Amino acid sequence: MYELKVVTHMAAAHQLRGYEGKCENLHGHNWKIEVHVTGKNLGPNGLLIDFKKIKEATAKLLADLDHTFLNDLKQFSIVNPSSENIARYIYDSLSRDLNDETVKVSKVTAWESETACATYLEA
């Protein structure tokens, strides 16, 4: 099995609904987003998937989230824009975009600080 990882960043504000504590207040993070893809078979060029393809799909998706107030976006109007849900949203969206017979998005991690992150993956 091969695993590729692309790391990117986004800055955004959020406010956690129903959370008792400081995170209920409006604040922002510089999220570090890690996208992992896996697959067993390489193409004839020796690549699982071109890194560029993962980077472009991720950049396109994050462009809609970067420098926004996440709570205002329709994808987070009901579910809280927690790091957990951000990771899941990116996982689901990129899976639709990138998955094929040979490659699968395997997990997405959203780091909200240097010491705290949430990962979404399907068991």
The one segment of 15-23, 36-44, 60-68, 101-109 that binds Zn ion by CB under 5 A: 15-23
The one segment of 18-26, 31-39, 54-62, 95-103 that binds Zn ion by CB under 5 A: 18-26
What amino acid occupies position 52?
K
Contact 83, 16 (CB under 8 A): no
Which CB atom, from 41 or from 113, has the smaller least distance to Zn ion?
Answer: 113
Q: C-beta of 72: minimal distance to Zn ion in Å?
A: 15
49's enclosing H/E stretch is none
Contact 76, 106 (CB under 8 A): no
Which CB atom, from 23 or from 73, has the smaller least distance to Zn ion?
Answer: 23
For the chain, the straight-line distance linking the first and the last C-alpha, in angstroms and rounded, comes to 16
Beta bridge partner(s), residue 31? 10
- Interface with Zn ion in residues 19-38 (CB under 5 A): 23
Which CB atom, from 23 or from 117, has the smaller least distance to Zn ion?
Answer: 23
Q: C-beta of 109: minimal distance to Zn ion in Å?
A: 16
Which CB atom, from 88 or from 103, has the smaller least distance to Zn ion?
Answer: 88
What is the Cα 48 distance to its own chain's centre?
20
Helices (H), 1-123: 51-63, 83-98
Q: C-beta of 83: minimal distance to Zn ion in Å?
A: 7
Positions touching Zn ion (CB under 5 A) are 23
